[in-house]
Amino acid sequence: MRIVTTLGAALIAVAAATGALAQGRTVRIATEGAYAPYNFTAPGGKLDGFEIELAAELCKRAKVTCEIVQQDWDGIIPALQAGKYDAIMAGMNITEKREAVIDFSIPYVQEAGSFGVAKDGPLAKLPGDGQVFNFDKDNAGAVKALEAMKPMLKGKTVGVQVSTIHSTFLDKYLKGTVEIREYKTTEQHDLDLLSGRIDAIFASASAIRGTFDKPDFKDYTLAGARFSGDVFGRGVAVGLRKGEPALKKLFDEAIASMNADGSLKALSMKWFKSDITIKS
C-alpha cells in the first residue's frame, strides 16, 4: 500500500513537471504586420488585428507567456526553421507544400479568395456576384464560374502577394488570361490598385474588405465569384516547427476550446464582420 502511494505521488510529480515544461515557457509568435485585418501595424507602430488578439487569448488558455515578433512574409518560414521564434500566426493557410516543411495546428478560420476592383472600372461587373465556389466540393461549378469571368479578365493586370495561396491560384487557373504582378505585401498591391497601375487585386475577401473600408478606397469593391478548396488549402492555422507535438497540442486545445465556447466566432465577427470560423 505504501509503495503504491509513493509511486502515485511520484507519477503526479512527474506529470506536473512535464506539464510545467510546456506551460511555463515563453512562446515567440511571428506575424507579418501587413495583412489587415489578420495582422497589421497600427498608426502608432503597434501590432494589431485578429491574430494579435487571438494569440493573446490562445496563450492565456494554454497558460504560456507569449511574445509577438514581426517578420517579413518572404522569410517567415525559414526563420521559424532557424529557431528565431516558435510559431507563425500570419494568415497562413495550410497547404501541402508548407506541410512538407512545417507543422500546423488545427485551422482557426477559412475563407475564399476574391477579386477587388474599381467601382467604375471595366471589371466592376465581373459575373459571379460574390458567390463562393469550392473546387473540392463542386469542381464543375467552380470551373464554370471561372470560365464565365475569363472573357472580362482577358488581358487585365492583376496584383497579388508573392508566394501565397492566391498567387498559386492565379498561376494555376488564370495564367495566360491575366497578367500577374507579384508584390511583397498586400499593402503594396493596394497602393498600385489605387494608382491604376493594376486593374484588380486578388486576395482573401476579408483582407480586401479590410482595405476597402479605408476612406481612400471608397471607390473600390469586391467583384466576381469567390473561390475556395484545391490550392486554397484547409484554412488558416498556427505554423509550427516539425517535431514539437507538445506545442501543437497546446495550440490545438486552445483553438478547440475557443471554438467551443463561441469566443473565436466573436473575434471573427469583430475583425471580419462575418463568421469565418470552421464548423466541424
Residue 135 or 183: the one with the smaller Cβ distance to other proteins is 183
Instruction: Write out the H or E segment, with its range, that includes residue 257.
Output: helix 245-260
**Buried/exposed 164-174: b ≥16 CB within 10 Å, e otherwise:** bbbbbbbeebb
CA 188 from chain centre, in angstroms, equals 18
Residue 77 or 109: the one with the smaller Cβ distance to other proteins is 77
Give me the least distance between CB of 191 and other proteins, in Å please: 5
Instruction: Write out the H or E segment, with its range, that includes residue 69.
Output: strand 65-70
**Distance (Å, whole) CA 192 – CA 198:** 6
Residue 28 or 184: the one with the smaller Cβ distance to other proteins is 184
Give me the least distance between CB of 193 and other proteins, in Å please: 10
Residues 6 or more apart whose CB falls under 8 angstroms from that of 227 comprise: 112, 113, 114, 132, 133, 134, 135, 142, 145, 146, 169
Give me the least distance between CB of 205 and other proteins, in Å please: 23
Give me the least distance between CB of 31 and other proteins, in Å please: 17
Give me the least distance between CB of 278 and other proteins, in Å please: 25
Residue 53 or 182: the one with the smaller Cβ distance to other proteins is 182
Residue 81 or 139: the one with the smaller Cβ distance to other proteins is 81
Q: And the C-alpha cell for 74? A: 518572404
**Distance (Å, whole) CA 67 – CA 62:** 14
Binding site residues, other proteins, CB under 8 A:
73-75, 77-78, 81, 97, 101, 162-163, 181-184, 188, 191-192, 194-197
